[in-house]
Amino acid sequence: MATVDRGTFSTALIPYPNLPEALGAAASQSPTSGLTILDRRGRAAGRRTYLEVLAAAAQTAARLATLGIRPGDRVVVALPSSFDWFDVWLGAIHLGALPVATAPGAAVGASQVQLAKLTGVVGKLDAKLIVSTAGLAEKLSEAAPSEEPLPPCLTPDELAAASSASTLDVARASPDDTAFLQLTSGSTGFPRAVQVTHGGAIHNALALDAGVAAPHRSDSRGFIDHWASWVPLYHDMGLISNLTLMLKGVDLHLMPSEAFLGRPRLWLENLASGGRTVATAPNFGYQLCVDRLGDGDLEGLDLSNWQVAFSAAEMIRPETVTAFLDKFARCGFKSENYRPGYGLAEATLVVAIDDTGGAPRTLPVPKGSNGGGFGLSEVFCVGGPVLDTRIRIAAPDGSASPDGRIGEVWAKGPGVFKGYYNEPDATAEALVDGWLRTGDLGFLDRGELYLTGRLKDLLIVRGENLMPHELEWLAESVSGGGGLERAAAFSVSRGGEGEQVILVVEVNVKDSTQLQNLARDLRIEIGHEFGVTLADVVLVKRGQLPKTTSGKVQRGLIRERYLNEELPRLG
């Protein structure tokens, strides 16, 4: 049956009961290791040792206490990746409050929808304080409904000016206590707040480290010199990766996301300059490197010391991996150092990782399965479960399906969340006897996981099951956007006609004739590959489709805008 687990060593992985004690011990053991913040040009803007980072967080905790924040209170952290972010987020945890990281002002200010979502999160969680940029504070004040005033919103400078409590009455948290709240990506609806425990955060961070270090196990403590990251701290990949480094005493170089998006070579230059390096990124980050860097940009770029390139957070596209490995092999990057994985916020982060030390590999989608036969020919192996974790491929009744058969991915282990904050019904739906129902589809083969799509996004057209991402991948290949121009597929109900498929595609085309030809080509290719007649093809400018923090298109929100005739259609 398709259930696989990895041996246990929980007691070795969680030597401390809570994050403050674990982080403090790790910082003391590695007193010279620390955090470097890079500016938008990729240059070092400041550095602190981890001891200094924790000391600043303790000072912030004392200021939060003076402002009336108590253990269990929710503190929203809406700041860019910075020392200020660590001060507030870690300071809240030190105090016993529950930090909630959200997108900073620059990202939120560009979207009224995201701004409304943030105010909704603040109200839903009954947050006691918001710490944000000055620009976001102003926008929040304008957006807040008069009948539901927002809590105080302070900038880091205003918080730093507050007096500090002389003493702190901080309870010693246990492994099962909630440490922080992590917002779900919101690809299928309004964000929920995942309750991550102290023990779960520590275990998952160190299990990620164990999976990354597996091929170097004989030298697991010293195989890495530094870690370079552009993934924002409000994203679970960015957050848990950074906790992993702090718990292992490894230097971290943190780059603004906008710096990477504008000039991806800056990230690669940092990787090349730091000795033996590990880095994480979603699939689209690797695709961006492929698309934006020409042959001339590769000159002088030495990636031979890039030990692990971890990829997760969204479906891993075979064409991206092939193109990345082909392009950067000339820079010394080794194919076996590309490491696919799988995780989600409800599991703290990582569930599975390919820790074999071999080259990435794929398998054909199983024949005769609901997930196959619709244009997706092969899928990537994302490895076996991380330590102390079990994976089950569940049939509709929850029983384990045979190997090679597609079903819902269930996970069980110390990293599985405590539940959604103040949402018992959603929690009961997601957790079954300790098993997390991930909503993802996949199959197991010889103890390793292969993902095929999302259960909740399933389209049922004329009795046939379709996965929207399969239509989207084909559409993106037809439009030629190379992963930078995204697509969204969803269905709408049209009376007696039943569910009809709508396709929305980003393009970088303005000519009306070219737009008409592209729409025609999309209809032809989708019809040929899937036997589906598209009810509508909507072409929009690049960047118009709303996406989650991990780069996933928000199909539900796009569908809503389509029905409300709010999509800026071209042509």
The structural architecture, per CATH, of the domain 19-26+47-197 is: 3-Layer(aba) Sandwich (3.40)
Cβ atoms 383, 342 nearer than 8 A: yes
Q: What is the pLDDT along the chain (571 residues), one digit of tens a residue?
A: 467 777 554 445 567 899 999 999 999 999 999 999 999 999 999 999 999 999 999 999 999 999 999 999 999 999 999 999 999 999 999 999 999 999 886 544 435 556 777 888 898 999 999 999 988 888 887 776 666 788 999 999 999 999 987 778 777 899 999 999 999 854 444 689 999 999 999 999 988 988 887 776 545 556 788 899 999 999 999 999 999 989 989 999 999 999 999 999 999 999 999 888 999 998 889 989 999 999 999 999 999 999 999 999 877 878 889 999 999 999 999 999 999 999 999 999 999 999 998 889 999 988 645 443 333 578 889 999 998 999 999 988 889 989 999 999 999 999 999 999 999 999 999 999 999 999 888 999 999 999 987 777 667 676 565 778 878 988 988 887 666 789 999 988 664 455 789 999 999 888 899 999 999 999 998 888 777 889 999 999 988 898 876 677 888 889 889 989 999 999 7
Kindly list the distances between the CA atom of residue 155 and the CA atoms of 88, 160, 233, 511, in Å, as whole numbers in the listed order.
11, 9, 18, 46
Q: What is the pLDDT of residue 465?
A: 59
Q: Which residues have C-beta within 8 Å of that of residue 310, sequence separation ≥ 6?
A: 212, 278, 279, 280, 281, 339, 341, 353
Q: How many CB atoms lie within 10 A of CB 422?
A: 13
Q: State the Cα–Cα distance between residues 229 and 242, nearest whole angstrom.
A: 9
Paired strand residues for 506: 540
Angle between helices 318-328 and 283-292 (to 10 degrees): 50
Q: What is the pLDDT of residue 139?
A: 84
Q: Which residues have C-beta within 8 Å of that of residue 12, sequence separation ≥ 6?
A: none
Pick the CATH number of 459-563 from 3.30.300.30, 3.40.309.10, 3.40.50.12780, 3.30.565.10: 3.30.300.30
Cβ atoms 519, 486 nearer than 8 A: no
Q: State the Cα–Cα distance between residues 242 and 248, nearest whole angstrom.
A: 10
Q: State the Cα–Cα distance between residues 95 and 150, nearest whole angstrom.
A: 22
User: Could you report how far apart the first and last alpha carbons of the chain are, in Å?
Assistant: 52
Smallest CA-to-CA distance from 563 within 508, 494, 517, 510 is with 494
The single-letter code of the amino acid at 289 is C
The domain locations on the chain are: 19-26+47-197, 459-563
Smallest CA-to-CA distance from 380 within 291, 319, 460, 446 is with 319
Q: What is the pLDDT of residue 222?
A: 63
Q: What is the pLDDT of residue 463?
A: 52
